[in-house]
Amino acid sequence: MWALRALCLAGLGAAIGGGAADQCSWRGSGLSQEAGSVEQLSLRCAEGSLEWLYPTGALRLRLAPRLPPTSAAVKGGSPPHVTACIKPTGTFRGAQLYLEREGVLELLLPEAPRPRARCFSWLPQEKVALFLQATPHPDISRRIAAFRYELRGDWLARPALPAASPGAEGACRPCNDTEILMAICTSDFVIRGSIRSVSNDAELQESIIGVSATRIHRQKFPLFQAGGRAGRPVGSIRTPLRCGVKPGPGTFLFTGWLHFGEAWLSCAPRYRDFQRIYEGAQRTRQNPCEFPVD
């Protein structure tokens, strides 16, 4: 670890032109890098990808997205944290990925990881970067280290994160009233419906909730489409396996976020409980946004 950290710090001033990049993604080859060099990269989008062919040496990647202001910032509150999620491809080989935070390295992805997302958060004033270190192999011709990334600055303080994510300890606790009210205003999807099924993926440590929608209040992408009984839209929402979701009767209000094209659950109160919470907030004029309640 000390040798790795030394290599990282030694390469901070050197940038090697060995890849093609836009503001969101980078693709390059380790064959064009000098032995032991560290290439400096910077990506400025909220999502994108990196593909490193024939890894040698190391890459240091700074993620600096131009995120829109959040409600907390607009109201003059303290700046919110930024959350990033990294998802390796199924063929991720030839390197290990570290999170560098204030000069300290933490392993995020070992070589040949499971293809599931890892997430981490930081405050705007913190210095963070991703450090991709090539692992030595006699033959690097078939090794490609590639991943996709997503960054958000407007997730709730307790966002829905995959089970393997550092900092996701609170992902299973029920949302409080404030979190529910914020979720209906800011989530990628807000779906009223019932649970059709729950299946578990032990390898990815995820539960997949099959949902039949009675009303689609909002969805940024067509996650729920017609195909169920009586022509109702159906879709699936993921949550950490350790949360122990079970199928049950009743109508729920499902909210959450999109991670790499998959819906992840944030808050899911019973609809009657949501009605009570929202109507109470209306009476005291504390509802953060207008929402149709019937």
Strands 58-63, 95-101: parallel, antiparallel or unpaired by DSSP?
unpaired
The reported pLDDT for the residue numbered 281 is: 93
The reported pLDDT for the residue numbered 64 is: 74
Query: What domains does the chain contain, in order, with CATH numbers?
Result: 2-152 (2.60.120), 169-283 (2.40.50.120)
- The total of other beta-carbon atoms located within 10 Å of residue 252's CB is 21
Q: What is the separation, in whole angstroms, between the first and last Cα of the chain?
A: 58
d(CA 211, CA 196): 5
- The total of other beta-carbon atoms located within 10 Å of residue 90's CB is 9
Q: Which of 16-20, 157-161, 287-291 has the highest mean pLDDT?
A: 287-291
- Nearest Cα to 188, choosing from 223, 234, 225? 223
If DSSP codes are grouped into helix, strand and coil, which group holds residue 218?
strand
61 or 80, greater pLDDT: 61
Has residue 237 got a pLDDT over 90?
yes
The mean pLDDT of the chain is 80
Beta bridge partners of 216: 191
Q: Render pLDDT for 178-232 as a digit per residue (tens, 0 to 9).
A: 999 999 998 889 999 999 999 998 887 889 999 999 999 999 888 888 876 667 8
Instruction: Say how many CA atoms lie within 13 Å of 261 toward its Cβ.
Output: 4
Instruction: Say how many CA atoms lie within 13 Å of 92 toward its Cβ.
Output: 25
Has residue 129 got a pLDDT over 80?
yes
The reported pLDDT for the residue numbered 140 is: 64
**For residue 46, what are its two tokens?**
């909220």
d(CA 277, CA 26): 46
Percent of the chain residues past pLDDT 90, beyond the cut: 39
Percent of the chain residues past pLDDT 70, beyond the cut: 79
Distance of CA 86 to the CA centre of its chain: 7
293 or 283, greater pLDDT: 283
**For residue 214, what are its two tokens?**
């009675």
- The total of other beta-carbon atoms located within 10 Å of residue 56's CB is 22
The reported pLDDT for the residue numbered 217 is: 94
186 within 8 A of 216, measured Cβ to Cβ: no
Dihedral sign from CA coordinates of 120, 147, 224, 188: positive
